[in-house]
Structure formats: structure tokens, C-alpha cells
Amino acid sequence: MPEQIGAFFADTWNQIVTFFSTVNVAFAVLDIVVVAFVVYSLIKLVRDSRAEQLMKGILLLVVAYFFSTMLNLQALKYLLSILFDNALIVVVVVFQPEIRRALEKVGHSSLSGALSALGKANSQEEVITRRKNAIAAVCGAVEQLQRQKMGALVVFERSTKLGDIINSGTVIDADPSVELIGNVFFNKAPLHDGAMIIRDGRVYAAGCILPLTNTHRLSSSLGTRHRAAVGMSENSDAVVVVVSEETAAISLAVGGELTRDYTPKTLRIALENSMLSDLAGDDEQGGLLKKIFKGRGAK
């Protein structure tokens, strides 16, 4: 028995030595690092845009194909097999903006910057503090803009990343303040016509172009800002604040629904209910809308 155990360990050691003698360790490590960087870049690309939602849809189709095979659903399996047979074309068409942006970034992306981003971690308290500061700055600026009858369009990014929307504007990445937001939406400023994106409690970009809604439920008296706000909330879970240039009325768009006639005080309550609820684990759209209508108050 001891001889067998000794022979086993000797054979195992010989196999390990043989393996490493045939493998260039330096190139193997380099190979792993490059693959890890590519995978990380792909994940970051998906998370920074609305492609994350598309990935969930593709995953759902894969699950449907699996169950159609298990349950012998021939018609469904046939349709899904046709789709997967042309998967490469489908992926290129669906993810064309993301693929193009990724190729454009290849030339000037740095490995060190990507690796340093891996080490960034923020506590929940820091996130809450930053979001509260951003809400306070936006509400203070909205109050001033309302008095001056200047329009504004502010998008609070939540779990759906808006990288494609940010790329349509100008990146600012600054701490929020009443003065900064007011200057951006000053009616003679170059970025006042577009939307401002608030990401992680910071004024991340301005002058951004939002998708317009196609709904016919909006009043004909509402202009492009309101339609852009509703369109953005239909395409993501963002919370969008609108100040009308004509009437100075304050509105809020969430989940494709537009609520109107806020005051700076009720707006702050609604924004805190929506922007802080996901940190408490309450991220259901229905509960969010209920809180916002409650925060709106009677007008």
C-alpha cells in the first residue's frame, strides 16, 4: 500500500513537471490576461449601454430553445433554430452601435485604466450621499429656472446604463451644483437644448439627445422636451425631470408615465423616493410609480 501511494504521487509529480516543461508560462499568463481583459471590456460595454436589456432577451430565447427541446415543441424549436442559425447576422444588426463604439475605443483604451476601474468600490452610504447631493442641486437649480422661465431636461440614470445617450452629448463629469446646472440650461448656453445625464450622483454629460415617444396619450400642448422625457423613460428605468420653458411647470417621467405640476419641494420628495428606493431593495416599477404619485402631492 505505501508503495502504491508513493507511485501515485511520483506519477502525479511527473505529469506536472511534463506539463510545465511543454508550456511557456510567460505566454500562458499573457494569454489569460488578454482574455480576461477582453471579457471585462465586453461586460463593461454591455453594462454601459442599453445592450444589457438586449442580452437578457437573448438569454430568454436560449432558455426557450432549451425547454422546447426538452418538451419536444417542434414548431417553436424550428423557429428558434432558424434564428440561432443566423445568430451572427442578428448580433451584428442588434448590437451595431455597441460594436462600432467598441472598435473605435480599441485604439485608445488603456489596460491600466481598465484594471484600475476594477478596484473601485463605493459603499452604500457614499452612493446615498452623492445621490442626495445631486437631487438637492437639481431641485435648487429647477427652482431658479422655474422663476426665470427657462427650460430644462435632466435624466437620472439608474440600473439601465445610458452610454449610447451620453455619447450623443458632451461629457462633463463634475460634482453637481445649483450654479453648474443653471449655467448649462441658461437659454444662451450651447448645451441648453439637450438633456443632462446624472450618473452616480455626478453631472456626467449635457447636450444629450433623447429618443422621442410615439405615444398619443400626451397632450398636444406638450413640446419636444416632454416627449423626449417620456421616450427616455420608456426605453430605460431612468427618472427624468422636465421644466417647461413656456409655462415653467415641473414634470417627472418614469416608466413611460408623465406626472406634472410639481413644486421644488414635492419634486425633491419624488426624486428621493425613486432614486433611493433601489438601494433599499425596492426596485419594482409599480411601487416606484406609487411613491412618486404620493410625493407629488395634490395640486
Q: Cα separation of 191 and 169, whole Å? A: 8
- Residue that terminates a domain, selected from 67, 96, 118: 118
Q: What is the pLDDT of residue 12?
A: 79
Q: What is the pLDDT of residue 251?
A: 94
Are residue 169 and residue 291 in the same domain, yes or no? yes
Long-range contacts of 124-127 (CB under 8 A, 24+ apart): 124/279, 127/200, 127/201, 127/279
181 within 8 A of 141, measured Cβ to Cβ: yes
Q: What is the pLDDT of residue 62?
A: 85
Task: Return left, alpha or beta for 149; rule: phi > 0 is left, psi -120 to 50 is alpha, else beta.
Answer: left
Nearest to 285 by CA among 273, 296, 269, 298: 273
Give the contacts of 27 (CB within 8 A, at least 6 positions apart).
Answer: none
Pairing outcome for strands 152-156 and 195-199: parallel
168 within 8 A of 137, measured Cβ to Cβ: no
pLDDT averages per 10-residue partition of the chain, 299 residues: 68 73 70 80 63 72 85 84 76 65 53 45 76 94 92 92 89 94 91 92 94 84 90 90 92 92 93 79 45 46
Are residue 208 and residue 266 in the same domain, yes or no? yes
- Residue that terminates a domain, selected from 87, 118, 149: 118
- For residue 235, the domain's CATH number is 3.40.1700.10
Are residue 143 and residue 271 in the same domain, yes or no? yes
- Residue that terminates a domain, selected from 64, 98, 118: 118
Are residue 166 and residue 270 in the same domain, yes or no? yes
Q: What is the pLDDT of residue 230?
A: 93
Instruction: Give the domain range for residue 22.
Output: 2-118
Total structural domains within the chain: 2
Are residue 166 and residue 98 in the same domain, yes or no? no
